[in-house]
Structure 1
Amino acid sequence: MREDKLAHMLEPTGFSRRSVLGAIGASAFLAGNSSVAFAKSIASPASPFPGLTKIINDYVAEKKVAGMLAAIGMGQEDPLVISAGTHKLGGDKAVDINTLWRLYSQTKPVTGMAIMMLIEDGLLKLDQPVADVLPEFANMRVLQDPEGSMDETVPARTQITIRHLLTHTAGLGYSIVSKGPILTAYYAKGITPGVVSRMPLPGTQPGPPTPDAATFSKNLASLPLVYEPGSKWSYSVSIDLLGYVVEVVSGMPLEDFLQKRMFDPLGMKDTFFRVPADRVKDFTDNYSPFGGSLIPIDPAETSIYLDEPAFAFGGAGLVGSGGDYDKFLAMLLGFGTYKGTAIMQSETAKLGMSNLLPKGTDMSGTWVANHGFGAGGRSGLGTTESPAGTFGWGGAAGTSGFVDTGNGFRAGGYTQYIPSNSYPFQSNFPKYVYADLLNQAATGGGKTSP
């Protein structure tokens, strides 16, 4: 697709709302890495990622986690895999590339790229009002105070667009970050996409179940926005709403669209919104670190992920293997193509990984301050703090995934503990990867292929 054709498309331990599902993602890429030509060290490391390997082994040996895995690959090559531990504490099944992990917000870039595919198809435009697809969003109002009275609102000056929804600038709230009356209203109307456990968890509020996607959309539109669209970056349910946009525009539920257009073509056979009964043997337990111990909050055998969700939560619903998510990352690294299979045009993939934030968006005090944001993930701005060609996000149970198109590699880190800020693994994962790569480059790499 030509550039001119595409131009028109224009989360101390303990639970809190923010930490349960609010994955911060792959944060703070190592400053200055984008200009270092170290990617070849992946292909021939003398001692593959010794720093990261030690960290993974130490986490398991110290029983901070049951199991942990990293998958790191160059270009379209199969990934190098580093793993330790088992699916559950005291278990005997070792984690491997086919182990199933709760991906939570790592679902967001997947849904974001599904939207980009519909833009490429000509069925959506980047700056198209979502009200064209979901009329209930035509006349939104905005809280005068984000934490204030629901009765004190003003008409929104700007229509919510697809761009706003992709970049968390639509002004929508999130039960994991919002406060005040709007939070109470979200719970009352079941605007709580995402699941954690069958048991009640400290710091969370009981409420009605999340409704079907159409009702979810109408309930969301019936409430005021937290911010004027386009004015501020605020983590939100916007990507879950985009999952419904996919359904309305494509005529297929999100899970069917992804299966047909992405998962099947990429050979992603281990990615689900609901874990099949015959795959429980491959599924991990999820834990909460507490008082130096791991408390099981979602054992695989009785996991809430064995139930049919209210709808496919495009912002937090996927379970998948490290191998499968690596294929998704490799496709992004190949600018839409994986081992000869084209999922989207290169210009579409590049646009989705670029900075799509509306001009003038207030990023102060946010998780992504001094970074860009693309189709569901953080994107590099071309600075030492935010290197060009980087794109990725993470999940609430400690997972992390990103690509570095400038250096030609991708990396994913997988484990299961919640909240994700209990340990620094998720937030520091990119730093661990880059540190080993820089050391490899400084020593000239090695001669042994992984």
Structure 2
Amino acid sequence: MSQTAQLERKTTFIATRRQMFGWALGGAALAATSSPARAFWQSTERFAGLRSYINDYVSSRRLPGALAAFAFGQGPVQTVAAGTLAMESDTKVDLNSLWRIYSMTKPITGMAVMQLIEQGRLALDQPLYDLLPRFRTMRVLTSADAPIDQTVPAERAITMRHLLTHTAGLGYSIVQRGPIKDYYEQHGIVPGQVSRLSIPGLDRGRPAPSLEAFADALADAPLVYQPGTRWSYSISLDLLGRVIEVVSGMPFDTYLKQQIFEPLGMTSTGFRVPQTNIPRLSTNYAPVGGILLPIDPASTSIYLDQPAFPFGGAGLVSSAHDYDRFLAMLMNEGTLDGERVLAPETARLAMSNLLPEGIDTRGTFADGAGFGAGGRVSLPSSPDGEGTFGWGGAAGTIALVNSRRRLRFAGYANYMPSEAYDFQRRVAEVFLADLRAMVGA
């Protein structure tokens, strides 16, 4: 099989989220946030398993570099890192390296929506058509792969809750198959970018020229499922970017900068990488036939250009330093270093299970968990109970916060598809195994 054929076969824009969230935050592991673990935290032997795991990826040349960032409570962020930004680079990865975080953008967009809900400018169960009237009368496909003209009326309105939790009935060109996938790609309902290159399996059509045009095209498309009836990974967080624009009266990317990034000191996070930051940007790779193909080199990255519109579901580039600031704010229930981004009750609500009653996520990317404002939520029935909120990205990144145990963790690498390796699925598990070892669990 040719390398091109292998790439076409193996490359998928979104990882299997059931695999991605294979980490189970077991009670014994999280109990390691107690004092014995804090003492071990200062040991020169700390996190031997995690170091070995990351070093093995680099020494075997499966990745040029990777990094894990984590912290307990109010303590400073710690890292375990190895390797460089690219195979041909001498620049080591560190807290300030820049990564394509793709769907780790979704929780940030979700928290922006929660700010507007807190301010009374939106309501959780408010119909979408209040803000975007073209969504008032929607049609729904008779089946997920039915012809575009085979529809029935929507039985209920799409709400903010539906959009935050992937229960609005919307599709995703990276998930759907058949006529609706083709329709999305032909009409610019393509909220994401990968490379300037034409790559089999990654070419998804040209995005609409603006968030407004994207939302209008989506309003004219049929829904894949009846709103509020099932969990289905979708473009809903991208659509919420347009909602934020309409409600706030400012461009979506400007809103995020002013209301989240600047208050939290996330100075390296955005939808475009400035020329001055190219030396900090990693290269994105596709593992094919035992070698790494550079599909988005830093020096010619598609992220150096202004995107068609700010992709609220998959568009951000960030650093481990910056994203840890976001996680720390969540863990501290909305406040960091005296800056209040969310009220405590709003932060708790955002990281709680917001799914409509009766939604069962078993067998989906959320796989039996709940879902909050753009991220997966552990439930009382989860191995460690409630308290964990997080999500990952299509290029191998993952991040989570456990507010009950006062723990935050993120793993960074850039390769696609993320299921090509077990890094995204296992890096948190390896970290938690080290915590268990600290207390002899």
Q: Which residue, out of 2, 8, 17, partners 1:24?
A: 17
Q: 2 CA distance for matches of 1:124 and 1:440?
A: 45
> CA contact under 8 A between 1:105 and 1:395: conserved in structure 2?
yes
> CA contact under 8 A between 2:16 and 2:365: conserved in structure 1?
no
> Normalised by the size of structure 2, how large is the TM-score?
0.94
Q: 1 CA distance for matches of 2:38 and 2:431?
A: 10
1:56 deviation in Å? 0.5
1:411 deviation in Å? 0.3
> CA contact under 8 A between 2:12 and 2:416: conserved in structure 1?
yes
2:82 is paired with a residue of what secondary structure?
Answer: strand
Partner of 1:123: 121
Partner of 1:372: 370
1:120 deviation in Å? 0.4
1:39 deviation in Å? 0.8
1:182 is paired with a residue of what secondary structure?
Answer: helix
Alignment of 1:330-369 (within 5 A): 330-369=328-367
Partner of 1:135: 133
**1:159-185 deviations in Å (ceiling 9; x for gaps):** 000000000000001000001111110
2:17 is paired with a residue of what secondary structure?
Answer: coil
> CA contact under 8 A between 2:29 and 2:433: conserved in structure 1?
no
Distance 1:266 1:206, change over 3 A: closer
User: Is the counterpart of residue 14 in structure 1 residue 19 in structure 2?
Assistant: no
> Normalised by the size of structure 1, how large is the TM-score?
0.92
Q: 2 CA distance for matches of 1:185 and 1:105?
A: 22
Q: 1 CA distance for matches of 2:40 and 2:265?
A: 26
**1:341-384 deviations in Å (ceiling 9; x for gaps):** 21110110110000001011142421112100000010011223
Distance 1:18 1:85, change over 3 A: closer
Q: 2 CA distance for matches of 1:120 and 1:18?
A: 40
1:431 deviation in Å? 1.2
Of stretches 31-40 and 245-254 in structure 1, the one that deviates more from structure 2 is 31-40
1:64 deviation in Å? 0.6
User: Is the counterpart of residue 37 in structure 1 residue 35 in structure 2?
Assistant: no
Q: Which residue, out of 184, 187, 190, partners 2:188?
A: 190
> CA contact under 8 A between 2:25 and 2:432: conserved in structure 1?
no
Partner of 2:326: 328
Q: 2 CA distance for matches of 1:43 and 1:396?
A: 35
**1:109-138 deviations in Å (ceiling 9; x for gaps):** 000000001100110000000110111110
Partner of 1:306: 304
> CA contact under 8 A between 2:68 and 2:409: conserved in structure 1?
yes
> CA contact under 8 A between 1:254 and 1:312: conserved in structure 2?
yes
Q: Which residue, out of 73, 77, 101, partners 2:99?
A: 101
User: Is the counterpart of residue 114 in structure 1 residue 112 in structure 2?
Assistant: yes
Question: Which residue identity lines up with residue 109 of structure 2 in the other structure?
Answer: T
Partner of 1:254: 252
Q: 2 CA distance for matches of 1:386 and 1:130?
A: 35
1:281 is paired with a residue of what secondary structure?
Answer: helix
What's the % identity of the aligned pairs? Answer: 50
1:227 is paired with a residue of what secondary structure?
Answer: coil
> CA contact under 8 A between 1:22 and 1:176: conserved in structure 2?
no
Alignment of 1:346-425 (within 5 A): 346-385=344-383, 387-425=385-423
User: Is the counterpart of residue 431 in structure 1 residue 429 in structure 2?
Assistant: yes
Aligned length: 432
Question: Which residue identity lines up with residue 241 of structure 1 in the other structure?
Answer: L
Distance 1:16 1:73, change over 3 A: farther
**1:287-320 deviations in Å (ceiling 9; x for gaps):** 0001111000000000000010111100000001
> CA contact under 8 A between 2:173 and 2:204: conserved in structure 1?
no
RMSD over aligned Cα atoms: 1.8
> CA contact under 8 A between 2:65 and 2:83: conserved in structure 1?
yes
Structure 1: which 5+ runs fail to align? Answer: 1-11, 444-450
Of stretches 268-277 and 339-348 in structure 1, the one that deviates more from structure 2 is 339-348
Q: 2 CA distance for matches of 1:83 and 1:96?
A: 7
Q: Which residue, out of 258, 273, 281, partners 1:283?
A: 281
> CA contact under 8 A between 2:66 and 2:412: conserved in structure 1?
yes
User: Is the counterpart of residue 231 in structure 1 residue 229 in structure 2?
Assistant: yes
Distance 1:69 1:222, change over 3 A: same
Partner of 1:179: 177
1:77 is paired with a residue of what secondary structure?
Answer: coil
1:36 deviation in Å? 4.8
2:353 is paired with a residue of what secondary structure?
Answer: coil
Q: 2 CA distance for matches of 1:364 and 1:381?
A: 13
Partner of 1:447: none
User: Is the counterpart of residue 163 in structure 1 residue 161 in structure 2?
Assistant: yes
Of stretches 173-182 and 207-216 in structure 1, the one that deviates more from structure 2 is 207-216
Partner of 1:4: none
> CA contact under 8 A between 2:190 and 2:206: conserved in structure 1?
no
Q: 2 CA distance for matches of 1:36 and 1:65?
A: 29
Q: 1 CA distance for matches of 2:281 and 2:203?
A: 27
> CA contact under 8 A between 1:27 and 1:430: conserved in structure 2?
no
